[in-house]
Structure 1
Amino acid sequence: MPLICALAAVLNRVFAVTKLSFSKEKIQILLLEGVHDNAISELAARGYATVERLPTALDEAELLERIGSVHMLGIRSRTNLTAKVLEAAERLFCVGCFCIGTNQVDLKAARSRGVPVFNAPYSNTRSVAELVIGEVIMLMRGIFPKSTLVHGGGWMKSAKDSYEIRGKTLGIVGYGHIGTQVSIMAEAMGMKVVFYDVVRKLALGNAQPCDTLEDLLKISDVVTLHVPDTAQTRNMIGPEQLRQMKRGSYLINAARGKVVDIPALVEVLKSKHVLGAALDVFPKEPGGDKDPFESPLRGLDNVILTPHIGGSTMEAQANIGTEVAQKLIEYSDNGSTIGAVNFPMVGLPVHDGATRFLHIHRNVPGVLRKINDVFSSRDLNIAAQYLQTDPELGYVVIDADGDVDEGEVLDALRGIDGTLRTRFLYPGQPGR
């Protein structure tokens, strides 16, 4: 009987280790929504062979069926990663959003389960900026209604409501990575650029900051929006702001759909107070290409409507595929969390010659002392230790030298009150 009990203890420990650390070829990776080939190439080059890629999103029921065996998940904007799905994701240790935003993920739920979420916040900035510049020209020249007329067999050779962009004032709301690129490109084409941001920003070129949003709206011939979706930005362009815009001006929204009050925009467009608009994002968007798009903006000839394609260029998708895959690999191989949107950020060196343990826990007093006790009580030398916390979460990385019984250490670390997740990486074999 003692021999059987001892054998059972060993097997339990082996199974526990297997659940938390294994060779790369056994790490199950699921990529949804046609993630770019670059992601596959990056993963393959680093030894990740078990990758399934699907061309479409999965709904919640489908995700619940699939997520239980997945260790790394890659999604784009149409997949909603809810708390219910994350609760069922017992093996999931990281998520990659192959896009700019992360609104489709319940970041708090992922965080509470010790799952960092990565994205690519800057890889498509050029693509969005170029679309905006193109729309400025098309709006001010009335290209869209003229093109529609000619497609229908009509002809209207007129300069009415057609303007050069040179010398006109472009107002940029949100002077971040995209806004600044739009600023540089617009100025190079002869436009005067003004901008407004809630955070004081260094102006590029000859761009001038405005003290208030109202100041910007009153002097801009074209207003373009580049702000995130927050409680403060939702409907920030409402009836009052639209009336503050110059008569005969134009509005472009390639930011977030809920930033603009759509019924109020329809009203000022019909009255010609705002002469035209271009929107790439909407408060409610179809779930797929076969679903209908409904909006009161449809049918207005002075409005350009595009299906959320600001970042949909081959160059942007290639860049995003590379960037997010590299972040997932760095976390899996090395424990680095640089670029995570819901996690303490830790940049880590290569861990050759030591066994690396990752410990994610609630940020409560005494956890670090208990972690150190696990190693000191086993006469294990801590070669290096990295700690980063925020008010709710703590992330500790420990490099241990010597003959380490990984299963025993993991069991002890998991037993610490407040532990959310633990994992270890073998010396010289990242990602195991």
Structure 2
Amino acid sequence: MPINQLKSLFSDPEIPEGRARELINSLDHFDIARLLHQLDKDKKVFIFQYLTGDVKRQELLYETDAESRQEIIDDLGPEFMAPFLEGMPKDEAADIIQESEPEVQQKILEQMVPDEAQTLKNLIRYQEQTAGGMMTPHFNRVDPGEIASEILAKMIRNPSKDTVTDFFVVSPDQKLVGFFSLRDLLNVLPHAKAIDIIREESPRVLLDEPCEKIASLMDHEHLSTVPVVDGDNVVHGIVTFDDVFRGLKQTTNEEFYTMVGATDTNPFARKTSSKIAARAPWLFTTFIGGMVSAFVLKSFQVSLTEFTVVILFIPFVLGLAGNVGIQGATIIVRGLATGDIQSDNLHTVLKSELKVGFSNGIIFGVICGLTISFLAEKFLETSPALGITVGLGIILAVTMATLIGSFTPLLFLKMNIDPAISTGPVITVLNDIIGLTIYLYTATRVFSML
């Protein structure tokens, strides 16, 4: 394992510098990047400095976790980082700078060549997981009147690591006209003009478009790149598939960790104190919910004293309702994130979810109600009416949990709060309080009629 080799390297203080450098460079730097969070700050900086070549260092810095990245940047300082980041792809450099504190950002940008600094300033003003935050300003820009032979000759004369296989036709006023691929270019006559090569459909995205929608567009249109424009159709850059894939992966991870109330970043790459600080507020939400549930139980104390057997099935009812609520919330959140749920089909999706929830409530309510009624007198020494209580409680609690699970993410979205939060402790607490109230109220009404 690379991490064991690195740890053995640092456990030997007498190892020659040349041998240490050789061992570090013999390992895959992408593997090192994924494991860097397991090492101390000094060792991270040591490895970074001993890697041979700026390309490896740049890739390691970009691929490692945010905390390790900031530790390396803080140790080496703006004077080193400014020229180092200038050599990286602009979208990646912008992502790295964007993570730093504003004063650190300013110091790094001040050390850069003015043109480079301005380019990065234009990129870091957009949110990270949007088209503006992921785009690169370097792409194959073509004038409408250029001919195929000139375009090919220009590409050969000016090879670039940022070059991709798509060409974007831009008018003199910087507006997007269309695009064509390298395959399209090779299949036309040498004197064919760019304006005549462009495809009929030229998809594009706006600067503030989230990566989920960009991914959906690229998947639907089978695109490897997509141009980024503003409201006036002025081209600002392009987004590549690998940038979108990375953004989508990061967003998915953040949503997953948020859903379980842990944190919005990789918890394995954080210190224990950071993990505690990130999770404690969510547990406090559960604490408040538990206190409210206790007051609900207190308010039904008289009824529970007479019919103590009702208490036995509280976990059963709440467990079913809780699972149904989280299922509904997760489906809605996932649909919103992937773009499968839009304004035109939202009503249909909600109607379908409510039908499913209500149907499941009836199915399990009837099954559980009949089973408990059959066993009530013989095994629980109570009235068969207990089955009616539990059955009705399940039907009502599951139906209400479906409503909460389906509508809470939409409410959060309306309030500009991440809908993923609704699938974590929030939905659980709401379901517990409301489900408990419904079940105990149903039990009180049923047994009072006996």
**Fold match (TM-score > 0.5):** no
- Given the two structures, how large is their TM-score scaled by the length of structure 1? 0.25
Work out which structure has the larger RCO, using CA pairs closer than 8 Å and 6 or more positions apart in sequence. 1
Structure showing greater Rg: 2
Which is richer in strand?
A: 1
